[in-house]
Structure 1
Amino acid sequence: MTKLRVGLLFGGRSGEHEVSIVSARAIAEAINAQENANKYELLPFYIKKDGAWQGPDVASQVLSTGEALSCDSKSNLWQFPAEAESIDVWFPILHGPNGEDGTIQGLLSLMQVPFVGSGVLGSAAGMDKIGMKSIFAQAGLPQVKYMALTREEIWSKSTIFAKCDDIEQTLGYPCFVKPANLGSSVGIAKVRSRSELEAALDSAASYDRRIIVESGVTAREVECAILGNDSPKASIIGEITYESDFYDYETKYTIGRADLLIPAPLPNSVIQQIQEKAIQAFTTLDCAGLARVDFFYVEATGEVLINEINTLPGFTSTSMYPQLWANSGVSFPELVDQLIQLALQRSSIPEKHE
């Protein structure tokens, strides 16, 4: 049997470059595992921080060492390695901007080769917090209160004070200030006063031209993993607990700073609500393959509020997404296999049912 050539695409022009390398190493191991070795031939491709693509030889070295390569000012950003022409299915694991936001998905679509994960629409909508929340609101998914701002409004002396007044009156304190298009909690701040709000808005505007401010809520943070295309399935529910003020970048990626409870100790009725809303969010954005959907569970009122969807979640052996499926009966190598098969299914034209 001829093996399918899987192009594992990682690295990228994002602040989550190093996280992508860690995810790619775990996926490469799963593709090469005994269960998948007879099905797939792995060809890794590494995108440096300047956007230059590197072929399997260089990419394999990065996977081996786990270290990002330095950028070369002479890099040709528009030249793809020759091996890219032989790929049967792509497995992009590029977290954050320029990889999770529909840009690489558009490129792979133009290549006319199947790829793992959501297409342009689901990826772009899932990455942009303002667009995502607008779509969720239209779909009737309950959320915390939020407001959207632009960099121009924040950095303009004629509008910033009025905007801060609106935030205080509409959302109150504490509230969270976030860049609209960054992942892994980059640029996010929890604020409790006017001075902190102004500083956080200024900082967030340095990361992105569009900013979102969300009302704080006393709630448990729970997550659900989705797997599938047009008939997706939901995993069991996991919960994140931590001692820090909120789930920031340092807490998220420092060993021992946060704990994952799988399964989360929740009433069956709440579990069912979360699973149903996770699938609804996935299908509303026309996602495909995989996603992790994050929620707030307000125990005092019994409310389940959707926080966000992540269309290319962390994929290390200790990440929440694969752990949720492992505890739902799907091993890491099996999960990677299913995602590749889902990519192939999505690209094929189904037979018409009479």
Structure 2
Amino acid sequence: MSKLKVGLLFGGRSGEHEVSIISAGAISQGLNANAEKYEVLPFYIQKNGQWMASDIAQQVIESGKPLEANEPNPNLWQFPSAAASVDVWFPILHGPNGEDGTVQGLLQLMQKPYIGSGVMGSSVGMDKIGMKMAFAQAGIPQVKYMAVTRAQIYSDPCVFPKLCDQIAAELGYPCFVKPANLGSSVGISKCRTHAELEAALDSAASYDRRIIVEAGVTAREVECAVLGNDYPKASVIGEITFDSDFYDYETKYTAGRADLTLPANLPDAVAQRIRELAVQAFQAIDCSGLARVDFFYVESTGEVLINEINTLPGFTSTSMYPQLWREAGIEFKDLVDQLVQFALERHTAPAN
């Protein structure tokens, strides 16, 4: 039986480029641990969008560092010839231009199976406003929020203070301002005053034309991994604790700033409720393969509120997603193998 050629696609044109490289390194090791089944073909997308294959892509994985790519790329549609021989794609492109349905659409046109959600699940899962609308429609409880556009912020200087007053009246302080389409906590601000809110909206508008503002909540932050296609399963629950004011980019990616408790110390009924809601969220936006779902647990009231879903979560050996499944008894190499098999299953299903 010949080996399946797995196209490991990483890097990409987003602020999470470096994280993607680290994830690719771990996945490459996991696939190589299944060497009797898979042959890994790495493909690295530089920050200017150029695809690099074979030796160069492997060098990036081994070094863990991106290639410099300051010049515009004139060859956006010229893919390495090795791409034609890929049997199944494993995209691990975090953030915009990779997790938002764009690359998924390209792989769909290639008519090859690929790991993870399709175009709709990826795009809705990336867009915090669309995601929250889908969760509301599905009846999944969440914090109060408001959607704001860049046009509202900059259209009329006289309107901006009134907009901030409206946000404060509806959501109160503290509140959180987030670009709608960025990952890894990029561009997120916690606001306690009118002045901080104005500055945060201005900052978020520099990242995205659509912005979401969420009410703050005093809660424990817990996460659940989901695995599967039509019959997804939820993992054990993990809890994130940190020493900063909130779980921002620096805290997330600085060693020693955040701790993970596995499994989280929760009442059985609460843990079960989180698992049920994680699967419900996964199905609400038509995910497939994998996702990590983040929640707030308000211990004083017993409420469980969904925060967000990540359709291509961090996949380093120490990332939450593989750790949650390791705690549930699935080792990294077996997890990678299952994801490839789910991709093949989805591709061969009618009307995939």
- TM class, shorter-length: over 0.9
Q: CA deviation at 1:154?
A: 1.0
CA distance in 2, matches of 1:349, 1:318: 33
Structure 2 gaps, min length 5: none
Deviation at 1:74, TM superposition (A): 5.1
Q: For the aligned residues, what is the CA RMSD?
A: 1.0
Confirm or deny that 1:38 pairs with 2:36. Answer: yes
How many Å apart are 1:159 and its aligned residue?
2.1
TM (norm. structure 2) is 0.98
Q: What is the identity, as a one-letter code, of the residue corresponding to 2:146?
A: M
1:187 aligns with 187
1:27-66 superposed matches below 5 A: 27-33=27-33, 36-66=34-64
- The amino acid across from 2:39 in the alignment is E
CA displacement at 1:75 relative to structure 2? 4.4
Percent sequence identity over aligned pairs:
72
Inter-partner Cα distance in structure 1 for 2:73 and 2:326: 44
The answer to whether the 8 A contact 2:146-2:167 is kept is yes
Aligned to 2:340: 340
Per-residue Cα deviation, 1:144-169 (whole angstroms, up to 9, x for no partner): 00000000111231321111011110
The normalised TM-score by structure 1 is 0.97
- Aligned with 1:94: secondary structure? coil
1:349 deviation in Å? 2.9
1:334 Cα deviation after fit: 0.2
Aligned length: 349
Q: Bigger shift: 209-218 or 158-167?
A: 158-167
CA distance in 2, matches of 1:317, 1:90: 20
Q: Secondary structure at the match of 2:151?
A: helix
Q: Deviations over 1:159-211 (max 9, x none)?
A: 21111011110000000000000000000000100000000000000000000
Higher deviation after alignment, 249-258 or 59-68: 59-68
Report the Cα distance in structure 2 between the residues aligned to 1:148 and 1:73, rounded to whole angstroms.
34
List gaps (5 residues or longer) in structure 1: none
- Kept in 1, the 8 Å contact 2:48–2:73? The answer is no
Quick one: distance in 2 between partners of 1:290 and 1:135?
A: 18
| Equivalent in the alignment of 2:138 | 139
Where 1:41 maps in the other structure, the secondary structure is: strand
Runs of 4+ in 1 over 6 A off after TM superposition: none
Alpha-carbon separation, structure 1, partners of 2:211 and 2:95: 16
Aligned to 1:77: 76
Q: Which amino acid aligns with 2:47?
A: K
Q: Distance in 2 between matches of 1:255 and 1:308?
A: 23
Match of residue 148 from structure 1: 147
1:79-228 equivalence runs, <5 A:
79-156=78-155, 157-228=157-228
How far did 1:60 drift?
0.6
Task: Give SS of 1:148's match.
Answer: strand
1:225-274: per-residue Cα shift (whole Å, max 9, x none)?
Answer: 00000000000000000111000000000000000000000000000100
Aligned ranges for residues 171-320 of structure 1 at < 5 Å?
A: 171-320=171-320
Report the alpha carbon displacement of residue 57 of structure 1 after superposing the two structures with TM. 1.8
Structure 2 CA distance for aligned equivalents of residues 329 and 229 of structure 1: 19
| Mapping for residues 1-40 of structure 1, pairs under 5 Å | 1-33=1-33, 36-40=34-38
Partners of 1:331 and 1:312 in 2: how far apart? 18
